[in-house]
Amino acid sequence: MIFSIFARSLRTTLQQKKMMSLLWAISFLFAFPGFWITHRTLNSYFGGRQVAGEWLHQFNLSYLLEMINDLPSLIPATNALFFGSALLFLVVTIFLTGGIVGKLIQAVSGDSSNGEGFAPSFFSLSGKFFFRILRVFLWTTLLSLVSFAFMMIGGYAGLITAALIAVWIMTSDITKIRLVSDDSGKVTKTYFSSFIWVMKNIPSVALVYLLNFFLLVMTFALYKFLDNALIANGILKIFLMVVIHQMFVFFRGAIRIQMFTSAILLWHAKLKTMASVASNPSENLLDEQTQPA
């Protein structure tokens, strides 16, 4: 069942071209200001010097250290820029989660959302569930931080911490799916009932996430192989490296969609199984009676 769910989730994910393009565009918009400011800073400081030409052949750290020494405010300003961008990107990511989960639930169930366009429907769902998803994020962050306490024990305690954080991540995703699917505002109750559900179905849930994690690792390995195969000693090679990096960013968004899609399909499959069991109690009782002691 798990492998069929994984295969179906891949097919569904590949159909979400608008969503994948949207996630890539947002990542690009957040990355571009940092790139532009870095470019302007380097150009204004090294303008008229042949530093760029030398860096194409071999990167010389002394030039960068010289700039940092001459511009003491550069490091604090850069840190503030990237920290602020990262924090804003995190908030936007949480905001978009409701739209991602909502549209994927519609795709899995075949609901066309009354013919409403992709963007209006997506952002409407994002806004509607933003604060609920934010509370789920806060619960997951808190419990993950508490889980780090096991690392103080030493030895293999780090594995316990990693396992607990993985469980909180899986619980977080299932909670988001249930909140959006049921349009529920009971975040805390849903979170801990989802934790119980994850623990009861841990073999199935863990296998789905392991398959997705393997897909992510393979994508990253391919990206690093292509990136390391190119040496930035020419404009064309630099352009190819940028293209490869943007392809990885695109597929990273696709894998995020894939993770939610497979979790949604698994949740629906388990619900159908529970409904089937509940609708045939006499058959289940007969099966139990006929089983050997």
DSSP, collapsed to helix, strand or coil, labels residue 129 as: helix
Determine, yes or no, domain membership for 220: yes
Determine, yes or no, domain membership for 126: no
pLDDT tens for each residue of 53-103: 555 555 555 656 666 666 666 667 777 777 888 899 999 999 999 999 999
pTM of the model: 0.80
Determine, yes or no, domain membership for 92: no
pLDDT tens for each residue of 124-140: 999 999 999 999 999 99
Find the angle CA(205)-CA(210)-CA(216) to the nearest 5 degrees.
130
Two tokens at 198? 């994850």
Determine, yes or no, domain membership for 83: no
How many domains are there within the chain?
1
Dihedral sign from CA coordinates of 256, 258, 261, 265? negative
Determine, yes or no, domain membership for 72: no
Q: How far is residue 100 from each of residues 18, 35, 112, 188, 256, measured CA to CA in Å?
A: 11, 27, 15, 21, 9
Range of the domain at 154: 2-35+131-272
CB count within 10 Å of CB 176 equals: 27
Determine, yes or no, domain membership for 64: no
For residue 110, the Cα-to-chain-centroid distance in whole angstroms is 24
